Amino acid sequence: MAWRSFVAMGDSFTEGLNDAYPNGTFRGWADLVAARLAVDSGPNFGYANLAVRGKVIRQIVDEQLEPTLAMRPDLVSIAAGGNDALRVRVDPHALVRELDGVVRRLRASGAEVVLFRFADVTGNLPAIIGRRATVLNDGASMIAKRYGGYLIDLFADTAFAHRQMWAADRLHLSPAGHRRVAGHVLHALGVGVAEDWMLVPPTPEPTPWLLARGADLRWAREHLAPWVGRHLLGQSSRELVTAKRPELAPMAGAEPCRE
């Protein structure tokens, strides 16, 4: 199937953090998917990316759903809930209900919808995040089945246990991680993908205990503590950030996917 338009909704995962173009702006898996879809659809293919880092589900619904519906795209992706899961108080079941309402409206508009089961991050982040992610992942599976969406099961992909898939902050994907996500999405859509995007990195040698603890302390100092500080002060990484592609436009500038 050749889609004529694609809108990506969500947060930093979809904005493409830590996968930079040469000019310093972010690419990410959604741009890579759009570039490949444009190959089949031609120059009239339209792509919009409304995702903004730091957004929680309520903000994604309030700020991104109506603009997406107004564009009447053939294909929509939505990945949300990660920032909610990092908050002190959150009801993950309520997040699933929010997501269900979004997908219901998107499907009623005639759009095909891509949903995600998030990769297992329990090796990188506190265990409570893993418990909340389980509820979100189970909810995504249920919603995809209910409405006939494409489900991208990153949780089942053990390659995301490799540190090479993640940026230094252990929270956002690395360029290799973004390419692997793009590969999964394209496979689910029945579109060819470059084989090297799906290569599994070699299993790293075990890190000696002292070196591993030192790395954990550096991560806590450089990434975790600033994040906690910003949230205690009511600040966010999304401040002054706007959607990088707020309207449907021809795809240009992303790395094409080779078959």
Domain with residue 127: its CATH number is 3.40.50.1110
Q: What is the number of structural domains in the chain?
A: 1
pTM (2 d.p.): 0.84
In the chain, the percentage of residues whose pLDDT exceeds 70 is 77
Mean pLDDT, residues 10-39 taken together: 93
Establish if 64 belongs to a structural domain. Answer: yes
Establish if 75 belongs to a structural domain. Answer: yes
pLDDT tens digits, one per residue of 141-167: 999 999 999 999 999 999 998 888 988
- The residue count of the chain comes to 259
* 221 has pLDDT over 60: no
What's the distance, Cα to Cα, between the start and end of the chain in Å?
A: 16
* 66 has pLDDT over 80: yes
Establish if 39 belongs to a structural domain. Answer: yes
Establish if 252 belongs to a structural domain. Answer: no
pLDDT for residue 118: 93
pLDDT for residue 8: 98
pLDDT tens digits, one per residue of 69-126: 999 999 999 999 988 887 878 899 999 999 999 999 999 999 999 999 999 877 655 5
Establish if 221 belongs to a structural domain. Answer: no
pLDDT for residue 133: 87
DSSP 8-state secondary structure symbol assigned to residue 158 = G
Structure tokens at 104: 């219901």
Alpha-carbon distance of 170 to 253, in angstroms, equals 27
pLDDT for residue 26: 93
Alpha-carbon distance of 257 to 193, in angstroms, equals 6
pLDDT for residue 209: 42
Establish if 167 belongs to a structural domain. Answer: yes
Establish if 258 belongs to a structural domain. Answer: no
Mean pLDDT, residues 36-63 taken together: 94
pLDDT for residue 211: 44
Establish if 144 belongs to a structural domain. Answer: yes
* 225 has pLDDT over 80: no
Range of the domain at 44: 5-199
